[in-house]
Structure 1
Amino acid sequence: MHLAGSGRVIVQLSKELVEGQILCDNKGTRVAKVMELIGPIKRPFASATPLTNSINKFVGKQVFIFDQTTASKPKKFRRKRR
């Protein structure tokens, strides 16, 4: 992982991810959310939005996929009755 000038985190991937998945460290702390996949197919990268204010302490560390993602389930909205 390294921090880009835009404030996003760039992560080198070892296996395929889906946009919207959460990344965490080895202790289970949620670190970032994947926003887009970039780079070549053989060595892909992901651009992720940090979920913590202290993202600098995670730069250079290994991150993992958080199993329970809420991004895969769309929210349902109810219409107001008159």
Structure 2
Amino acid sequence: MQEVGEIMHLAGSGRVIIQLSTELVEGQILCDKTGTRVAKVNELIGPIKRPYASATPLTNNIKKYIGKQVYVDQESPANKPKRFRRKK
């Protein structure tokens, strides 16, 4: 796993704001250091030098992760090619 940033705060809309240290792609799943899925990136915001990400929480107790580092798993759904099913 690779460290990507720190969860800054919980926005009024229910999303979490993450200050990034590396580039991300929308749709990536973020985990804590134990591998628990914490959030899914929805959009990238802010200046290019100091980017932020807005993410949807994937856990009910997101407040305990505020101020903690988040990591990205290399096998994130955003990195996998989509597989389409054939219509019958």
Taking structure 1 as the reference length, the TM-score comes to 0.90
Identical counterparts, % of pairs = 69
What residue ranges of structure 1 are gaps of 5+ in the alignment? none
Which aligned runs of 4 or more in structure 1 are off by greater than 4 angstroms?
A: none
Larger strand fraction of residues: 2
Please identify, of 68-77 and 21-30, the stretch whose mean Cα deviation from structure 2 is larger.
68-77
Q: How many residues align?
A: 80
Distance in 1, Cα, partners of 2:30 & 2:59: 11
Structure-2 residue corresponding to 1:60: 67
- Report the alpha carbon displacement of residue 67 of structure 1 after superposing the two structures with TM: 1.6
Higher relative contact order (CA 8 A, sep 6+): 2
Distance 2:25 2:77 in 1: 12
Query: 2:35 pairs with 28, 34, 39, which one?
Result: 28
Residue 53 of structure 1 and its aligned partner are, at CA, apart by 0.9
Paired residue for 1:16? 23
Match of 1:48 among 55, 66, 75: 55
The Cα of 1:54 is off from its aligned counterpart by 1.0
TM-score of the pair, normalised by structure 2: 0.84
Q: Which runs of 5+ in 2 are unaligned?
A: 1-6
Cα deviation for residue 71 of structure 1 reads 3.0
